[in-house]
Amino acid sequence: MSTLLRQKREERKKYLIDQLMKYGYFKTNKGKQLYELNLSDLERIHIRVKCEIGRELTREEYK
């Protein structure tokens, strides 16, 4: 893997970890820390968390 690609993957992982921590997500259900996860796992969790936030906002909007 090229150095540039490796660097971009690490930047994306850092971004996802920072975003998840902003939303109060620090560990997986199995107790793994975010920094222990690979990029694809972080992407899936990030999508799930953002969807949950969107659902909550929608529920509040229609109350």
Range of the domain at 22: 3-61
Give the separation between CA 56 and CA 60, rounded to whole angstroms: 6
Is 80 exceeded by the pLDDT of residue 17? Answer: yes
Whole-number pLDDT of residue 5: 95
**Sequence-distant (≥ 6) Cβ neighbours of residue 46 within 8 angstroms:** 16, 19, 20
Domain count, the chain: 1
Tens-place pLDDT, residues 22-61: 999 999 989 999 999 999 999 999 999 999 999 998 888 7
CA distance 6 to 27: 24
Tell me the whole-structure pTM to 2 decimals: 0.85
What is residue 37's predicted lDDT score, i.e. its pLDDT? 97
User: 20 falls in which pLDDT band (50, 70, 90)?
Assistant: very high
